[in-house]
Chain A
Amino acid sequence: MSDKPKSQTVLVVGGGIGGISAALEAAECGAEVVLIEKAPTLGGRVAALNRYFPKMCHPTCGLEINYQRIKKNPRIKVFTMAEVSGISGSKGDYTVTVTTTPRHVTPACTACGDCAKVAASEVADPFNYGLAKMKAAYLPHAMAFPMRYVVDPSVVGTPEGQAIKAACKVEAINLDEKPESFALQVGAVIWATGWKPYDPKNLTMYRHGEIADVITNVEMERLASHDGPTKGHILKPSSGEAPKKVALIQCAGSRDLNHLAYCSRICCLASMKHAAYVREQYPEAEVDIYYIDIRAHDKLEAFYQKAKADPGIRWIKSKPSRIEKGASGEPVVCGENTLSREVYANAYDLVVLATGMQASAQPPAGAQLDDYGFVVSEEGVFGAGVATGPLDVSMSVQSATAAALRAVQAVRS
């Protein structure tokens, strides 16, 4: 048979919850799987969340189970700090070029942390969305997979780099590592390239970055996380004090033809979860949720009803028109309450923008995209998780499982 697939390997691009799920489902069906991730660790954006709605469980739990499944499955090969730089061929016979970025740390690393102790310079911490800095020799986060440090390229060739190398007892540091390229022969490709939060700088009327106490929903997750910059205490970035009045603004960028034309689906529930974080930490605090309409998708109406029953949460039906700076630098949310017709200007200690989900920064090379930049599945090339559109974690896993099934069919027929 001439159309028999030449390669039975499935390539999964992206090691977030979608990519991990797709890789596992395909491998557990018996397919050979290569999972590549551009960051130094698997886990993606899920690892940066504090809790999941609606059960408020910790993402680390699900990640841990999946990491165990990966470790136990000999059919999965994982490459971190690797990206697809080119793809050619057709269903059953793709040649994929993968480029790796040097980690400067070999698999001999025991994650003892001695290198971080001697590292002096600090670099931006993407895991904490820039809310904190980290040492130039770092473990990406506590739930890193592989559990291996990374040496930032900024210290290579400096005395600090030499000190870091010298500090390693197991001689796991290799400062001479260079970017590399290799080719893979695969039969099917799953793009699980995920998403990025919509850049709040585009929302000029909400003045994120200009007023310190205006943050985004992903930053809120980090503030609430025990391994975050505030050790899990939700504090005002301006002063480090506990907030008494918190505003959560829905549709910050979503459902807006000037920004993201679609509904990002997860933000309503995420904000209700944030309201729960605040109310749990500060029972006296007041939370106002500004919304156009609440979209508690799927079976999550019950979570909404529970939040509605909380007397500490006020629901204001309005898309705030702007945020102004109050006399002492505090954010003042302005707009029209569409139920009472009242034009309001309410001051808060903390404002959280529910920024939407945007397709990943670099669209996967050669993938077919829809009008919004999300992946459209084709013969042999499939989208999984948020690469295909805004989804919550459970839906992302469902989408990934579906993509794995299609990929397995593609390499077997």
Chain B
Amino acid sequence: MNAISPNPSRAYDLNFARYVYENIDGGERLRMCMQCGACSGSCPIGQQMDHGPRKLFMMIRAGMKEAVLTSNTIWNCVSCYNCVVRCPRKVPITYILHDLANLAVREGFDAAKKADNARFAKAFMWSARKYGRTDERLVTGIYYFSFGLLEGMKRGMGNQKIALNMIKTKRMHLGMPHAIKAKDELQNILAKAQEIQDRHGKGA
């Protein structure tokens, strides 16, 4: 097994490709990529990605660790699976992008911490852990205020009308957050998932 280079600021890591092949979810099939571009061409938001999956995979092979883990491609994937279905080499592109995003956070890249999806995922997981479900107000609040007090208020005010309509149609409620009954069981499930992920991350 290969270790990722310990210094996250290092732009190039010649071990990076091998690390990805051996440790990233679906990374093993990445060896099969033949750079045809079917993935990036299939992507419904390919225009919004800085590199797109195909180029990102080439960058992995080139050892461009920092550029890969600070790319917006790993965060912009919407899991539509168009690319996975069309990939002529059966590379599970979606899994790889999601696990790379995870790696970017673990490696402490600033861009990863600041990514929109990372902020939202963090707020979502907080709510899921605490209540066993998402509380729209709290998740949205934590997500908005992660951009700072001023930006948070601005975003909140901007979406006031939507919020009021959601309350009216009972898509959002006022009062204490609802929680599920067997929270401890969910906690056990999450702990197990974390354990599997950690073990996976070590190449087990």
Residues of A within 8 A of B (CB): 205, 251, 255-259, 292, 317-322, 334-338, 341, 343
Contact present for A318 and B36 (CB under 8 Å): yes
25 contacts across the A-B interface (CB closer than 8 A): A255-B34, A255-B88, A256-B88, A257-B89, A292-B35, A292-B36, A318-B37, A319-B36, A319-B38, A319-B41, A319-B88, A320-B38, A321-B41, A321-B86, A322-B86, A335-B41, A336-B40, A338-B35, A338-B36, A338-B37, A338-B55, A341-B40, A341-B51, A341-B55, A343-B41
Give chain A residues whose Cβ lies under 8 Å from the Cβ of B34. Answer: 255, 292
Complex contact B47–A343 (CB within 8 A) = yes
Chain A residue nearest in CB terms to B49: A343
**CB–CB B54/A338 < 8 A:** yes
- Which chain B residue has the least Cβ–Cβ distance from A291? B36
* Cα(A337)–Cα(B88), bound, Å: 17
Contact of A337 among B37, B38, B82, B86 (CB under 8 A): B37
**Closest chain A CB from B74 CB (angstroms):** 17
Q: Is the CB of B38 within 8 A of A335?
A: yes
Q: CB-CB < 8 A to B37: which residues of A?
A: 317-319, 321, 335-338
| B102 in contact (CB, < 8 A) | no
Q: Which of B41, B51, B55 has the most CB of A within 10 A?
A: B41
Chain B residues, Cβ within 8 Å of A256: 88
**Min CB gap A328→B, angstroms:** 23
When C-beta atoms are compared, the residue in chain B nearest to A333 turns out to be B41
A365 to chain B, nearest CB (A): 32
Count contacts between A and B, CB distance < 8 Å: 67
Q: Which residues of B approach A to under 8 Å, CB–CB?
A: 34-42, 46-47, 51-52, 54-55, 82, 85-86, 88-90
Given the interface contacts A319-B36, A319-B37, A343-B46, does A336 sit within 8 Å of B88 by beta carbon?
no
Residues of B close to A341: CB separation below 8 A: 40, 51-52, 55
- The docked-state distance in angstroms from the alpha carbon of A320 to that of B88 is 12
Return the chain B residue nearest A258 by Cβ: B88
For B88, list chain A residues within 8 Å (CB): 251, 255-259, 319
Minimum CB distance partner of A261 in chain B: B88
Chain A neighbourhood of B41, CB < 8 A:
318-322, 334-336, 343
B40 and A258 contacting across the interface, CB-CB below 8 Å: no
In the bound complex, how far is the Cα of B196 from the Cα of A271, in angstroms? 50
Interface centre among A251, A255, A259, A336 (most CB of B within 10 A): A336
A292–B82 CA distance with the chains assembled, in angstroms? 19
Residues on B with C-beta less than 8 A from A317 are: 37
Nearest CB in chain A to that of B36: its residue: A319
B residues in contact with A259, CB < 8 Å: 88
Task: Answer whether A205 and B89 are a contact pair too, CB < 8 Å, given A336-B52, A336-B54, A343-B41.
Answer: no
A334 CA / B36 CA spacing, docked (Å): 13
Q: Enumerate chain A residues within 8 angstroms of B38, measured Cβ to Cβ.
A: 319-321, 335
Count chain A CB atoms within 10 A of each CB in B36, B54, B85, B88 and give the residue with the most.
B36
Interfacial chain A residues near B39, Cβ < 8 Å: 321, 336
A294, chain B: closest CB distance, angstroms? 13
Least CB distance, A295 to chain B, in whole angstroms = 12
Closest Cβ of chain A to B33, distance in Å, is: 11
Beta-carbon nearest neighbor of B82 in chain A: A321
Chain A, residue nearest B53 (CB): A336
- Chain B, residue nearest A337 (CB): B37
Closest to B32 in A: A257
Q: Give 6 closest A-B pairs by Cβ, nearest first.
A: A335-B41, A321-B41, A256-B88, A319-B36, A336-B40, A321-B42
CB-CB < 8 A to B54: which residues of A?
336, 338
List the A residue with the shortest CB-CB distance to B88. A256
Interchain CA distance A292-B52 in the complex, whole Å = 17
Q: What CA separation (Å) do A113 and B103 show in the bound complex? A: 74
Q: How far is the CB of B73 from chain A (nearest CB, A)?
A: 11
Residue in contact with B90 in the complex, picked from A258, A335, A338, A343, CB distance below 8 Å: A258
Report Cα–Cα, A257/B38, bound state, in Å. 13
Residue of B nearest to A338 (CB): B37
User: Whole-angstrom distance between the alpha carbons of A341 and B36 in the complex?
Assistant: 11
| Residues of the B chain whose Cβ atoms lie less than 8 Å from the Cβ of A335 | 37-38, 40-42
**Chain B residues closer than 8 Å to A343, beta-carbon distance:** 40-41, 46-47, 52
Which single residue of chain A is at the shortest CB-CB distance from B40?
A336
Complex: A257 Cα to B84 Cα, angstroms: 12
What 13 additional pairs, Cβ within 8 angstroms, besides A251-B36, A258-B86, A335-B38?
A205-B86, A257-B89, A317-B37, A318-B36, A319-B36, A319-B38, A319-B41, A321-B37, A336-B40, A336-B52, A338-B37, A343-B40, A343-B52
Q: Complex formed: what's the CA distance from A334 to B34 in Å?
A: 19
